[in-house]
Structure 1
Amino acid sequence: MPTIHAEGYHSFTVESGKKLVLALEDNGVDILHRCGGNARCTTCLCEVIDGDAGPIGEAEAGAREKKGIEDDNMRLSCQIRVTNDLKVKPLRTATSEQMDPGKRPEE
């Protein structure tokens, strides 16, 4: 099982193939996901500090382009299926933004 280290939080293991946004939320990180995990709002943005988060898919690429995100280490956690150990830094949380995280993304 892959291990996720969420900078500023803690490390935890997750089942392979789980969406990163759900892995974070299920392990106490109040990551935002305002669009419900549909790669539209970019509120679930994380910095991938270490590890392979996989390729950037079409939906994520479109959202990143629309928002002007060019750094390949800045990824939408709703679009990453965890298959490897990762060290990530959640950039926007419900606490830091003082807002409801949004509808829980689907598996």
Structure 2
Amino acid sequence: MPPMHELTIEGLGPCEVEEGTRLVRAIEDCGAAVGHRCGGQSQCTTCRVEFAAGEPPVMTEAEYDKLTDIGRLGEMRLACQIVVDRDMTLTPLMTVEDQGWDDAGPEPALMVEPDAEWFSIETLEQR
């Protein structure tokens, strides 16, 4: 069995998550209805999260490009592009409840898509 990590979501408290779980799915499994209007494709940015602790030091090219495009790089992360590999404490920034949606969006795939290769932020900034 893979190692477990503690995911703490503001307002919900801690939840045990299996290592390798896609963060957007882990947040939902722990009881928060975080958005994923594009189905976890790094297109809509509704899976926005803000880390208090445990933010990964790497990101996919798709996440970097999208956050740069909307001028929010360094302010938030996209849960659809992150895999749980450590204890994390975060706040989902767009949920079904606070946005007034009927649902969070199409179910994200088990694996990160479109680009499942992670780079240091410095490497992405230098390309």
Give the deviation of 1:52 after TM superposition: 3.5
Residue 24 of structure 1 corresponds to which residue in structure 2?
27
**Inter-partner Cα distance in structure 2 for 1:80 and 1:92:** 16
Residue 74 of structure 1 corresponds to which residue in structure 2?
76
CA 1:17 to 1:54, structure 2 compared with 1: closer, same or farther past 3 Å?
A: farther
Q: Is the 8 A contact 1:5 1:88 kept in 2?
A: yes
TM-score, normalization by structure 1: 0.94
Number of equivalenced pairs: 106
Give the deviation of 1:30 after TM superposition: 0.5
Give the deviation of 1:53 after TM superposition: 2.1
Q: Whose Rg is larger?
A: 2
The alignment-based identity, stated in percent, is 39
Task: Name whichever structure is richer in strand by fraction.
Answer: 2
Q: Whose RCO is larger (CA < 8 A, sep 6+)?
A: 1
User: Where in structure 1 do 4 or more consecutive aligned residues deviate above 4 Å?
Assistant: none
Residue 51 of structure 1 corresponds to which residue in structure 2?
54
- What is the aligned-residue RMSD (CA, Å)? 1.1
User: 3-state SS of the aligned residue for 1:4?
Assistant: strand
User: 3-state SS of the aligned residue for 2:18?
Assistant: coil
